[in-house]
Amino acid sequence: MAKDTERKTAKILYTEQGKSAKDVAKLVGVTENTISKWVSKYNWKTAKTANAISHKNRIENIYKIIEELSSDRLQFNSKIKDLIKGNTKENKEEIRELRQEIVRTDMAVANWNKTLDSMKKENQINQLNFIQIQQIIFKHFHSKYPELTGKVVEFEEYMLNEVIPTFTQ
């Protein structure tokens, strides 16, 4: 069961956070050879590359789409203002159509923003995984540097009691 937890943690560190196999091995407390076997067996290299490249490109593309939609919306608005000046029967129909286009554009922007938010959340390490990783790191730190464990705990307490509260005020 411990190996399963270490493997899951290693996968997150390697594929989602982009850490090297050597770094992951140190953080998780297994050999670099074990990490290499997992990378090969579970095809982590492909996942790591896909996460790094496609995620960034998708986010950039969404920003471009939103920018284009916003530009379209401004043009629709400008046309409406020009048509209102003319105030003819034909203009009223065109104004109505342009307003419908604005509504569709606004809905599209809202949907793309939701997608963007979702992608950003996807890319963030969730709190449970973060805590698990911290526990593994601290366990291995304690076994390697037992003389420093007290100092680390003191520092964590200082951060929690003195520094972090200043950010939440």
Name the residue with higher pLDDT: 97 or 126: 97
Chain segment 90-115, per-residue pLDDT in tens:
888 899 999 999 999 999 899 889 88
| Residues 77, 117 within the same domain | yes
- Sign of the CA dihedral 110, 116, 117, 118? positive
- The model carries a pTM of 0.47
Residue 82 lies in a domain: yes
Residue 49 lies in a domain: no
Helix/strand/coil percentages in the chain, nearest 5? 90, 0, 10
Residue 50 lies in a domain: no
| Residues 106, 163 within the same domain | no
Chain segment 58-85, per-residue pLDDT in tens:
788 889 889 999 999 999 999 999 988 8
Q: Secondary structure of 25-67 in the HEC alphabet?
A: HHHHCCCHHHHHHHHHHCCHHHHHHHHHHHHHHHHHHHHHHHH
| Residues 103, 137 within the same domain | no
- Between CA 31 and CA 28 the distance in angstroms is 9
| Residues 60, 115 within the same domain | yes
**20 phi-psi bin (left φ>0, alpha ψ -120 to 50, beta other):** beta
Determine the structural domain holding residue 142 and report its residue range. 2-42+126-167
Count of domains observed in the chain: 2
